Every structure is written in C-alpha cells, then in structure tokens.
Amino acid sequence: MTDEITVTGIRAFGYHGVYAHERREGQEFIADVVLSLSTRKAAESDDVLDTVHYGELAEQVAAILAGEPANLLETVAQRIANAALAWPIVDEVAVTIHKPSAPIEVAFRDVAVTIRRGREA
C-alpha cells in the first residue's frame, strides 16, 4: 500500500515558453506535486527526517518554476519530478504544471501538463 503527500498551488513567476515575449515578460506558473511513498516509518517515529519535508519540497519546486527558462511545460515538469525523486523515500511522483496566462487566442481557464514518473529499476 502506498501513501501520498500532496502539495498544490505552488506559485512562482517564470520565463518559460516558446515565444520571445514569454521569455522577455514572463508570467506566473503553478505546480501541483503528488508524491507516492511510505509514511509508515515517519508515522511511527514522529520525525520529519523520516519523510519528505513538504516545505523544503515546495521551495525546490518554486525555484524550478522561477529558474532556468524552458520552452515546454513538459521540461519544467520533468525537472520538478527529478527533484522529487531525489528524495530516496519517494517511489513515484505526479507533477502538474499550470500556465493560466498561456498565449492562446480563445477564452480558456487554464493550460496544464501532467507527468508521472517513478524510480528506474
């Protein structure tokens, strides 16, 4: 059985996109991260060192959102997945990147890309 830690709505201003104006002007990006892991040891020890510190994870995600520009949301999501999987306790991660101000010519509420990654065997 797998447990989950979920952090949603992590916001940061970044410069991702394929268009020059996106790279120049930037916009807000939002990330949701769902970690699959066992929290049993942390529950028994009541020690944050036995789990993923979600505050630290959120800071890492915000830094990636605000960091090195990428053309694609898929690339940003992969960077976040890699950071999450760097925690040895994490078995799988789902990352959703939202781009609510994407340059689309029709009315829309949100654009999002979701990836799911696990540990390589």
Q: Of 16, 79, 98, 99, which residue is the catalytic one? A: 99
99 given a catalytic annotation? yes
Q: What is the DSSP string of the chain?
A: --EEEEEEEEEEEE--SSSHHHHHH-EEEEEEEEEEE--HHHHHH--GGGS--HHHHHHHHHHHHHSS--S-HHHHHHHHHHHHHTSTTEEEEEEEEE-TT---SS--S--EEEEEEE---
Contact 26, 51 (CB under 8 A): no
Show which residues are catalytic: 99
